[in-house]
Amino acid sequence: MDLYEYQGRQLFMEKGIPVPEGIYALTAEEAGEAADKIGYPCVIKGQAKIGHRGQAGAVKIANNHDEAVALAERILPMEVRGHKVHGVLVCEAANILHEYYVSISVDRTSRDYDVLATAAGGTEVEEIARKHPEYVKRLHIDPYKDFTLADAKVMAEQIGFYHADNDQAAEILLKMWQTFKDNDATLVEINPLAKIGDPNDESSKMLCALDSKVSLDGNAAFRHDGWKRFDDTTGEDPLELRAKAHGLHYVRLNGQVGVIGNGAGLVMSSLDAVADAAEQQGTDIKPANFLDIGGGASAEVMAECLSIVLADPNVRDVFVNVYGGITSCQLVAEGILEALKAIERTAPIIVRFDGNAAAEGLETLENAHNDSIVVARTMEEAAAEAARIAAELENAQFSDATKEGENL
């Protein structure tokens, strides 16, 4: 589970990592009030669960009230690489003297924790890491040993916080580790960890976390009261939320063929198969969603899946691709038939089964003589049918619309 910047920095504050003063605002008016409280200049930062907000124009400095309101008005409706901005964080603007990058993450290969750090932090950090991998230090924290302040000091020394106070850098490393460990995080990243202050006043200089990127391990939610305090679902796709509430993995895309399958790998290849078939047919048809029904495919689960997929008005037909393992395709077939009785909107359903009781399942569907169901023998055949039917329905709708237009 990824956190917004304003949430991640809450965790930083709890551990005593220095952050600039900041107020979270949901409207431009609130942002203006927040900016007046913080003082000028201040930074207006669009909250989206994605990096490179700065480069996308979602992080801007305001010098007075009117600028703060105008910037918030501009940033609030923005999308950063497909991620909707949800609120703005109004922060005290810091005078940046130097930008470092520091992160702690799970390293699955070496089965420990990776500390990545570079003195060349900031918005270009990926580019720098590509061109000069030697600038990036990779150090490790042993999961079986305690990581102490003394260890953090050695680590800070190795990283090389040139121009900054090594002891303060070590304190921050230790607190980042505590943030990581106590919150069951999979990532704690600060970019920039900035040296800020008045260039002419040595005593004003300090390290400060000007950004936060924190991901929490969803499997540990039960240890943290479900992380209810981070439940900020406004702005999330309503169909995705509905699927989540039913324990289903649904991701909305923007095509016309609904896709339902069991197992993430099978669903991913079903999406590819649809896109590939459409390309061969010379149409613009694309998959409309990813939906993994997981292990069970009871009638209730199938009904919920079909009704979620069909609630997307762009969907013309649905490709159901199930490999029967523990789940029998016969049960899935019964589930589909039951589901079709229960849902309001119907659309052609193209079904491909393989594995456990596939033949029986397909036979059950065929014997039902339901006009909505199209049975296919292979995945390629099913994907091609789904793409072709969707294109046909899309064209029919388009010509209906032009006919209506002519009548006016």
**Sites of contact with ligand GDP (CB under 6 A):** 43, 45, 51-54, 59, 91, 93-94, 96, 122-123, 191-192, 210-211
Question: With contacts defined by CB under 5 A, how many residues of the chain interact with Mn ion?
Answer: 2
Catalytic residue among 101, 113, 250, 323: 101
Residue closer to ligand GDP by CB (options 45, 352) is 45
Task: Report the sign of the C-alpha dihedral through residues 398, 400, 406, 408, in that order.
Answer: negative
Decide if residue 191 touches Mn ion (CB under 5 A).
yes
- Choices 42-50, 90-98, 103-111, 207-215 (CB under 5 A): range interacting with Mn ion: 207-215
The residue assigned the tokens 């016969």 is: 330
Nearer to ligand GDP, 126 or 167 (CB): 126
Q: Which of 92, 99, 171, 189 is catalytic?
A: 189
Binds 239, which of Mn ion, ligand GDP, none (CB < 5 to 8 A, cut-off by type)?
Answer: none
- Indicate which of ligand GDP, Mn ion, none lies near residue 52 (CB less than 5 to 8 Å, by partner kind): ligand GDP
- C-beta closer to ligand GDP: residue 210 or 329: 210
Judged by CB under 5 A, the residue of 5, 211, 292, 385 near Mn ion is: 211
Q: Count CA within 13 A, CB hemisphere, residue 147.
A: 28
Task: Go through 148-170 and write b for each residue having 16 or more CB atoms within 10 A of its CB, e for each that does not.
Answer: eeebbbebbeebbbeebeeebbb
The total of other beta-carbon atoms located within 10 Å of residue 386's CB is 34
Shorter beta-carbon distance to ligand GDP: residue 43 or 389: 43
Distance of CA 234 to the CA centre of its chain: 14
Helices (H), 198-348: 238-245, 264-281, 299-310, 329-342
Active-site residue 92, yes or no? no
Give residue number: closest CB to ligand GDP: 54
3-class SS string, 263-277: CHHHHHHHHHHHHHH
Which residue's CB is nearer to ligand GDP, number 18 or number 54? 54
- Residue 59 binds what, of Mn ion, ligand GDP, none (CB under 5 to 8 Å, by partner type)? ligand GDP
User: By the 8 A CB rule, do 34 and 90 touch?
Assistant: yes
CB of 177 to ligand GDP, least distance (A): 21
**DSSP for residue 386:** H
Positive or negative: CA dihedral 106, 112, 115, 116: negative
Distance CA 353, CA 376 (A): 8
Two tokens, residue 58: 């979602």
Kindly state the smallest distance separating residue 90's Cβ from ligand GDP, in Å.
11
Is 101 an active-site residue?
yes
Span from 210-218, 229-237, 254-262, 350-358 in contact with Mn ion (CB under 5 A): 210-218
- Residue 5 within binding range of Mn ion, rule CB under 5 A: no
The site for Mn ion (CB under 5 A) is made up of 191, 211
Catalytically active residues are: 101, 189
